[in-house]
Amino acid sequence: MTDEFENLRNLAPAPPSSASARARAVSSAMEAFDGAEIISSRTQGKSDARRQSSILNRIWSLNMITRHRYLAGSALATLLLVPSATYLAFEVMRSNSPTIADLASPAPEVLGKPEAGKQEISEPPAPSPNFRMNFDSGNSEPERLSDAAVASRELLQQSSEPARITEHPAPRPSAPVTMNAAPASMGEQRAQIMPDQRNNGSKQPGDRFANRETNPVKSVATEPVSTFSIDVDTASYAYVRRSLMQGHLPDPDSVRVEEMVNYFPYDWPRPQSADAPFRTTVTVTPTPWNSGTRLMNVAIKGYELTPAVAPPSNLVFLIDVSGSMNAPDKLPLLKSAFRLLVGKLRPQDKVSIVTYSGAAGTVLEPTSASEREKILNAIDTLKPGGSTAGAEGIDAAYRLARQAFMKDGINRVMLATDGDFNVGASSGDELKRLIEDRRRDGIYLSVLGFGQGNLNDDLMQTLAQNGNGTAAYIDTLAEAQKALVDEVGSMLFPIAKDVKIQVEFNPDKIAEYRLIGYETRALKREDFNNDRIDAGDIGSGHSVTAIYEVTPNGSASVLNDPLRYQSGSKTAPAPLPGQASDELAFVKIRFKQPGVGTSKLVTTPVTDANAVNQMGAAPADVRFATAVAALGQKLGGTPAIEDYAYGSIRDLARGARGNDPFGYRSEFETLVDLAEALEKR
């Protein structure tokens, strides 16, 4: 080994290094450093306080990182780091220290609470296999560190002792980010699940979700009307996916079936003009998990604005830079996500940036999106630290939004956080009132959640619902691409607001019904006609799906006994004028057009003409939405579906995959397999 080192030293000139070689060198050195940290906490065979393995610790010091940063991009770095890592490995083996396999699966005491003064940072999320990042683009400009690498270096500089950090590269501004036309298999991600991850329980400690009860079966004889607000959020699906990919079943309270169903794009029939902002399609099918019931799929497709007619946007990025955001899957991922969004904006759009930790601060005054480098540089300066003055940050963001208010445009605050608000108005009710008071100014609020272990999903949902906005959970850069680039129109540009759905079931045809999901969106029957009651908004091109499980009269699956003093149709009221006796149900939708305070009504009767006799005869989108609803119910613990096999869900989804350019549907099939395997443990 000494001869090899000597040969390397005598090379002249030094061979040019490639980007991949430098990446491998840095990765090897950091792995060696991690190993040294773990080994140093264990009893060794030597009594000498200055063990050989500590030599590398002195070489790889914060002083070298901060003062000799130029080494990272040179061939000299490669020549120094690789031999150093090799030397440490030699010392580890010579001293009977734990093997590499031991380091990959550390002992329980190593995974426990960190020592006082040490900083522990979770591993970054693995990018989706459908997401390809081109780092070696042939650009002639000097190579720059990724956002995550810069953030990792900042964390090292702030820490009094070395912290365990793994770099998670993000694309440079000049490097294109593309989606694969043919999605790769997700088996690679499945292989990344480690044994210690499979024992993490149902959720990350510290994550908070609202307790919910699954919607019950209701009798049409006593409660024939169902009313709820639409939900276009997708946060639940992304959180559930991350849980399964990490090797544990999600917390049942984190599963909102409607958000899982609405995560996927559907090709429902769409309206022809903005005068009719959405179109309703109803399909009735057999129920795959219960032969005695049927499913009624109510689908809404929003009108899609073209970029040429989309209004200008006044956006305020309200970014949490508190200490709780000090992790690679939080602030570094957040910065990369906003960089993607900035690349999508037009010159007529404006961007402001407000941060909050111990106090709120303005990082960027309202700036035209044409000044892209100025905005990106402001994003690059963000660093974590301090407590979380969330309410103060929201106040500051709304002040900037009013300062640059666009009368004929979109005015929106985009809050990016892990959901921790521990300074100022921190209760859900206080923040709800704060958002409601400012919503009347025409400034909406959307929420992007990041990270684990401190996620306050309940609060994020409250803020988004009361801010006339959406809530999304960003677990990978691929998810940021989907939410902030591919589907940014649906997040930014509302085409209908305060959208409510009310379904009345015909007691002559239907005995019972159960709304699948939307537990947190339930409304009172009288709220439907009350224009002062807030409800969800539909954005440009949005798809919204609601599914009812209904039980026909005479079915053996009816759960409620008949009423003693009431006998079905004999006591049913006489049909209203124009009401057909063969209707199964009557769907009503109320909405307001943007800037209008009075709602409009759209109605759709449901008859046997909307029905198909076999699930296989239903449109592919209906079948796939049914499969997603089935998985969501199983993960959420719905008793009605507990006997429906995961294999049946997978087969239903696979047969309805259809055109899947981004691999979302094939990814779902993999999640079904993971859920089945984890449940059998």
Which band of pLDDT confidence, cut at 50, 70 and 90, is reported for residue 66? very low
Burial 539-556 (b: 16+ CB within 10 A, else e): bbbbbbbbbbbbbeeebe
- Average pLDDT on 556-573 reads 74
CA-wise closest residue to 421 among 348, 358, 336? 358
Cis preceding linkage at 13, omega within 30: yes
Q: Give residue 388's pLDDT band: very low, low, confident or very high (50, 70, 90).
A: low
* Between residues 123 and 480, the one the model is more confident about: 480
Sign of the C-alpha dihedral computed for residues 655, 657, 663 and 665 taken in this order: negative
CA dist 410 and 495 (Å) reads 11
- Residues 299 and 281 sit within 8 Å (Cβ to Cβ): yes
For residue 379, pLDDT beyond 50: yes
The residue among 121 and 363 whose pLDDT is bigger is 363
pLDDT confidence band for 423 (50 / 70 / 90) = very low
pLDDT score at 96: 43
The answer to whether 205 and 247 have CB atoms below 8 angstroms apart is no
Q: Are 671 and 187 in contact (CB under 8 A)?
A: no
Compute φ and ψ for 56, nearest 5 degrees.
-65, -30
- DSSP state, 611? B
Nearest to 336 by CA among 382, 295, 293: 382
Q: How far are the Cα atoms of 179, 251, 451 from residue 190, in angstroms, in the given order?
A: 20, 20, 20
pLDDT at position 594 over 70: yes
How far apart are the C-alpha atoms of 543 and 304, rounded to whole Å?
10
* Sequence-distant (≥ 6) Cβ neighbours of residue 109 within 8 angstroms: none
Q: pLDDT: is 151 or 525 the higher one?
A: 525
Spatial distance between the Cα atoms of 378 and 380, rounded to a whole number of angstroms = 5
Name the phi and psi angles at 278, rounded to 5: -155, 165
Q: Which secondary structure element, helix H or strand E, spans residue 83, and what is its range?
A: helix 75-94
pLDDT tens digits for 184-204? Answer: 433 333 333 333 333 344 556
pLDDT for 438: 78
Examine the pLDDT at 78 and tell me if it is beyond 70. no
The angle subtended at Cα 269 by Cα 630 and Cα 305, nearest 5°, is: 110
Confidence of residue 26 (pLDDT cuts 50, 70, 90): low
Q: What is the pTM of this model?
A: 0.71
Query: What is the predicted pLDDT for the residue at 68?
Result: 40
> Hunting for tokens 């079904």 — which residue is that?
672
Determine the average pLDDT of the residues in 506-510.
96
Q: For residue 571, name the pLDDT band (cuts at 50, 70, 90).
A: very low
Between 128 and 13, where is the model more confident?
13
Residue 396 falls in which region: left (phi positive, over 0), alpha (psi -120 to 50) or beta: alpha
Q: Which of 355-364, 488-497, 643-652 has the lowest mean pLDDT?
A: 355-364
3-state secondary structure of 366: strand
SS (H, E, C) 17-34: CCHHHHHHHHHHHHHHHH
Mean pLDDT of 33-38: 53
Helix axes 2-10 and 75-94, enclosed angle (nearest 10): 170
**92 Cβ partners below 8 Å, 6+ apart?**
35, 39, 53, 98
Query: What are residue 32's phi and psi, to 5 degrees?
Result: -65, -40
| Cβ neighbours of 115 (radius 10 Å) | 9
pLDDT score recorded for residue 506: 97
Give residue 103's pLDDT band: very low, low, confident or very high (50, 70, 90): very low
Supply 67's token pair: 């003062």
Res 204: pLDDT: 64
> Confidence class of residue 574 from pLDDT cuts 50, 70 and 90?
low
Kindly tell me the number of DSSP H helices and DSSP E strands found in the chain.
21, 18
The 8-class DSSP code of residue 637 comes to T
Q: Report the distance separating Cα 514 and Cα 286, nearest Å.
A: 15
User: 178 pairs with which residues across the strands?
Assistant: 132
Local confidence band at 395 (pLDDT 50, 70, 90 cut-offs): confident
Average pLDDT over residues 14-40: 58
| CA–CA separation, 443 and 412 (whole Å) | 5
- Of 165-174, 269-278, 334-343, 599-608, the range with the lowest mean pLDDT is 165-174
Task: Give residue 179's pLDDT band: very low, low, confident or very high (50, 70, 90).
Answer: very low
Q: What is the pLDDT of residues 236-273, one digit of tens each?
A: 999 999 999 999 999 999 999 999 999 999 999 999 88
CA pair distance 389, 386, nearest whole angstrom: 9
Give CA separation, 579 vs 510, 583, 584, 587, 668, in Å.
16, 8, 11, 13, 41
Is 149's pLDDT higher than 70?
A: no
Residues 555-571, mean pLDDT to the nearest whole number: 78
* pLDDT at position 525: 97
Q: How confident is the model at residue 91 (pLDDT cuts 50, 70, 90)?
A: very low
Q: What is the pLDDT of residue 577?
A: 54
Report DSSP letters for 461-518, one per residue.
HHHHHHTT--EEEE-SHHHHHIIIIITHHHHH-EEEEEEEEEEEE-TTTEEEEEEES-
In terms of DSSP bridges, do strands 471-474 and 444-450 run parallel, antiparallel, or are they unpaired? parallel
Per cent of the chain over pLDDT 70 is 65
CA 328/CA 122 separation, integer angstroms: 7
Where does the pLDDT of residue 181 fall: very low under 50, low under 70, confident under 90, or very high at 90 and above? very low
Q: What single string gives the DSSP state of each residue in 503-514?
A: EEE-TTTEEEEE
Write the pLDDT tens digit of every residue in 263-322.
999 999 999 887 789 999 999 999 999 999 999 999 999 999 888 889 999 999 999 998
**Which pLDDT does position 589 carry in this prediction?**
97
Q: What is the mean pLDDT of the chain?
A: 76
Beta bridge partner(s), residue 287: 290
Phi-psi label, residue 637: left if phi above 0, alpha if psi -120 to 50, beta otherwise: left
pLDDT of residue 424: 54
Predicted local confidence at residue 145, as pLDDT: 42
Reply yes or no on whether the pLDDT at 84 is more than 60: no
How many residues are listed for the chain in this entry?
Answer: 681
AA identity, residue 612: V
> CB neighbours of 278 closer than 8 A, spacing ≥ 6?
271, 300, 301, 302, 303, 495, 496, 538, 589, 591
Q: Residue 114 above 90 pLDDT? A: no
Using CA atoms, how far apart are residues 665 and 502, in angstroms rounded to an integer? 30
Q: Considering only 418-422, 439-443, 669-673, which range has the smallest mean pLDDT? A: 418-422
pLDDT band at 131 (very low <50, low <70, confident <90, very high): very low
What is the percent of the chain where pLDDT is above 90?
50
Pick the more confident residue, 668 or 170.
668
Sign of the alpha-carbon torsion through 664, 667, 669, 672: negative
* Per-residue pLDDT at 116 exceeds 60: no
Task: Give me the pLDDT at residue 187, please.
Answer: 37
Parallel, antiparallel or unpaired: strands 131-133 and 543-552: unpaired
H-run or E-run covering 343 = helix 331-344
Q: Where are the alpha helices (DSSP H) in 246-303?
A: 257-261
The β-bridge relationship of strands 510-516 and 218-219 is antiparallel
